[in-house]
Amino acid sequence: MNRHRSLSEHSTGLKDNFDMKLPKTIHATFSARAATLPDRIALDSGDRSLTFAELDERSTRIAGYLQRHRVRRGDRVGVYSQRSIDAVAALLGILKAGAAYVPFDPAYPAKLLRFMYEDCTPALMLVEPSLLVSGTDPFWNGPAHDAGAAAQGVETPDAAAGLRETGPDDLAYVMYTSGSTGHPKGVLIPHRGVVRLAVENPFASMGPDEVHLLLAPLAFDASTFEIWGALLNGAKLAVVTAPYPSLDDVAQAISRFGVTTLWLTAGLFHLMVDHRLAGLAPLRQLIAGGDVLSPPHIAKAQAALPGCQLINGYGPTENTTFTCCYSIPRELPPGPIPIGTPIAHTTVHILDDARRPVRDGQEGELYAGGAGLALGYLNRDELTAERFVANPFDSSGSTRLYRTGDRVRRRTDGNIEFLGRVDRQVKINGKRVELDEIEACLRRSALVEDAAVTSPIDDNGPRKVHAYVKLRAGAAGGPAELRHFLKQEAADYMIPASFTLMDELPLSPTGKVDRSKLPRPRQDLPSGAAAQPAAGNETEATLLEIWRNVLGTGAVGLNDNFFDLGGTSLQLIQVHATIASVMHSDLSVIDLFQYPRISALAARLRSNGGTAVPGSAAGRQPAGGVLTAEERARRQHAALARARTSLRRNAP
């Protein structure tokens, strides 16, 4: 039985009625736009491009392919792919077939991907072939359909059936976010949510003369704005195909494609400002968000980018990417950067615990409504009812509001200021993390009797997660084993930066863990850094200094694994940028995944005079000349797969 159809059948009372003149579906809006701009470039990866007419035709052939394989309206189709032209065409083809797409992030561990697959039960999987690593079992059941080959078929008479059948309230995609129960939850986004975000919404300039950059993973809802904000407005979408682009890759893409509109997470924005600010110079508008923006970084960017409008973008996945936006003025007022006011076709209310409006200046919880609202959570009716509540300001009772869990207040100028959370949800590099989910994952380990997880605000750097663990009696293991266990259960951005082992967790009088009495997090020494050899040459000494500065600790040994020290992918990008600037190295970010220990990385750097490592994704070139962008990305995919296999093999 199709689970989404079942949800719709018994949840019709939760549907929202919106009196607005928006086009019906994503694909109908795109096809109408393509008809007016058939020869304009829609997608460009540097070595390959498609016009709007070609993308329209290609996606229609994909729709025909899917229908010939019995994909029907209301079905879900999985997409297991990195960013690419084929992947974007696949998303559009799925919608034209009347189905909804579910992106699976190749960076996620297989166990997590398996849970998502079993939860959403795709009718078919469209897959990037280079991700099928030899000797690795896929996380799905059934065949893998090549997303590129699907576009080579012959259009069938009913290939455009989805255009006639689907409407604004039909499901467009499922995006998974962190869940407090220990498993992620699938958010059901309808067509109207995306069209409301992308079409005639004045929070940013969107038109045929813009060039957007696809930089976010397909499974991160920032990609919704990047893809459809471009394609539904006749703008060009430039595609960064490298799985882990460096700061230089971002800067070079902006220059190469003439990018005018860019979306960055707050963390990546701060890194670009610190290390590659000049690379942002061509932009006309830069939207940053997903977490609190640093006013000093905003001021620095404004001084260096006089022709660029900076915008703070705020919003949960449940309200289709953006709920509020704030165009940051040149004369920056004192205090934190506000999240602004609601975008078009969006309503917000600031309510107290009894769901009554609070006065301006008073703190309350932000409730969001309007056309961007999700249909609910897949297979989570109770949670849907808890978070999507009846709108007390609608006498008909037909509309809902989403409880964001964000504490805010409205300033006297009408702009809304973010204050924090009412629960234990945090943002790590723009991605939502439920601390309760990490605790639940830890408790599933045979080593763990109990666990507590915290994420205090750190004024000295990006926010980190810290775990406190009471082991079972007689359990043989420690931080390294716990970290390895979590890497099989959760996405990398959810792995704690430190693990503190405790005989007992402090309890409150009611018997619950009293997190206020937990000690300061203890920095792990995975391989006994104090007993490791000192730096034996200038390269090792330089790398040690870089790692210590980025990780914010002196507890770094030459043989320690960067990720076992709590390093994140975003921090690895920072390491890469620093190495490139002080050592004049042309290593790729993927090379750092392959050599996560200073001793090995330094040896490879010295053997090549500080240039790219031979045989690495960045250093290899075909006999005929320079690698194409897509071939380089393919080799980076393969290198990343080898690096992950090596890390798993060497894990305890």
Q: What is the pLDDT of residues 390-436, one digit of tens each?
A: 999 887 666 899 999 999 999 999 999 999 988 888 888 778 888 98
Helix ranges (H only) for 492-557 are 538-551
Which comes out higher in pLDDT, residue 639 or 572? 572
11 pLDDT band, cuts 50/70/90, is very low
Run of H or E residues at 346: strand 346-351
CATH of the domain at 288: 3.40.50.12780
CA distance 116 to 139: 9
Last residue of a domain, which of 399, 422, 445? Answer: 422
- Residues 352, 234, single domain; the answer is yes
Q: Please check whether residues 478 and 439 belong to one and the same domain.
A: yes
pLDDT (average), residues 208-222? 96
Question: Which of 517, 552, 583 is the last residue before a domain boundary?
Answer: 517
For the chain, what is the mean pLDDT?
85
- If asked whether residues 206 and 279 sit together in one domain, one would say yes
Dist. CA 243–CA 591, nearest whole Å: 12
Residue 527 has pLDDT above 70, yes or no: no
Could you tell me where the DSSP H helices lie in 69-151?
85-96, 110-120
Torsion of Cα atoms, 261 then 174 then 80 then 566, to 10°: 70
Return the exposure string of 220-256: e unless at least 16 CB atoms fall within 10 Å of the residue's CB, then b: bbbbbbbbbbbbbbbbbbbbbbbbbbbbbbbbbbbee
**Mean pLDDT of the 514-539 span:** 71
Question: Is the pLDDT score of 565 beyond 50?
Answer: yes
In CATH, what number is assigned to the domain containing residue 502?
A: 3.30.300.30
Q: Find all residues with CB under 8 Å of 511, minimum gap 6, and list them.
A: none
The verdict on residue 179 lying in a domain is no
- Report the domain count for the chain: 4
Q: Is residue 132 part of a domain?
A: yes
- pLDDT tens-digit series, residues 218-267: 999 999 999 999 999 999 999 999 988 999 999 999 999 999 999 999 99
Distance CA 167, CA 375 (A): 13
Q: What is the pLDDT of residue 214?
A: 98
Domain identity same for 559 and 456: no
The domain that holds 533 is classified in CATH as 1.10.1200.10
Tens of pLDDT, residues 531-560: 567 777 888 999 999 998 888 877 788 888
pLDDT reported for residue 617 = 32
pLDDT of residue 626: 39
Q: How confident is the model over 130-141, as a mean pLDDT? A: 82
| Residue 253 is assigned to a structural domain of this protein | yes
> Does 334 lie in the same domain as 244?
yes
Mean pLDDT lowest for which of 3-7, 58-62, 211-215? Answer: 3-7
Query: How far is residue 125's CA from residue 16's CA, in Å, rounded to a whole number?
Result: 31
Q: What is the DSSP letter of 357?
A: B
Residue 458 in tokens: 């750190």
Which whole number is the average pLDDT over 58-69? 94
Domain range for 237 is 194-422
Decide: 358 and 350 in contact? Cβ < 8 Å.
yes
Same domain, 412 and 439: no
Query: Can you give the pLDDT at residue 474?
Result: 87
**Quick one: average pLDDT of 604-619?**
50
Whether 39 is in a domain gets the answer no
Phi, psi of 450 (to 5 degrees): -155, 160
**Mean pLDDT across the stretch 469-481?**
89
Please check whether residues 133 and 241 belong to one and the same domain. Answer: no
Burial group, residue 104, by CB count within 10 angstroms (0-12, 13-18, 19+): buried
Within-domain flag for 295: yes
Q: Give the mean pLDDT of 613-620.
A: 33
Task: Report the DSSP beta bridge partners of residue 171.
Answer: 190
**Burial profile 123-153: b = 16 or more Cβ within 10 angstroms, e = fewer:** bbbbbbebbeeeeeebbbeeebbbbbebbee
Percentage of the chain surpassing pLDDT 90?
A: 58
Average pLDDT over residues 483-512: 87
Output the pLDDT for position 464. 85
In this structure, are residues 261 and 208 in contact, taking their beta carbons and an 8 Å threshold? no
Distance CA 65, CA 89 (A): 13
pLDDT above 60: residue 624: no
Looking up residue 158, the CATH number of its domain turns out to be 3.40.50.980
Query: How far is it, in rounded angstroms, from Cα 405 to Cα 367?
Result: 8
* Reported confidence tier of residue 2, pLDDT bands at 50, 70, 90: very low
Looking at the structure, do residues 324 and 209 belong to the same domain, yes or no? yes
115: pLDDT strictly greater than 90: yes
Nearest CA-CA partner of 86 in 138, 45, 125, 25: 45
Say yes or no: 484 and 575 in one domain: no
392, 349 Cβ separation under 8 angstroms: no
Is 276 in the same domain as 366? yes
Is 180 domain-assigned?
A: no
One domain for residues 130 and 58: yes
For residue 416, list its beta bridge partners. 340, 410
Rounded to an integer, what distance in angstroms lies between the CA atom of residue 650 and that of residue 644?
Answer: 10
Which position has the token pair 């810290």? 466
Question: Is position 131 within any domain?
Answer: yes
> Does residue 93 belong to any structural domain of this protein?
yes
Q: Which positions ≥6 away from 283 have C-beta within 8 Å?
A: 254, 259, 260, 261, 262, 305, 307, 308
- Within this chain, do residues 371 and 226 fall inside the same structural domain, yes or no? yes
Among 403, 422, 441, the domain boundary falls at 422
Locate 151 and state its tokens: 């576009």
For 22, counting Cβ atoms within 10 Å of its Cβ (0-12 exposed, 13-18 middle, 19+ buried), the class is middle
Residue 34 has pLDDT above 90, yes or no: yes
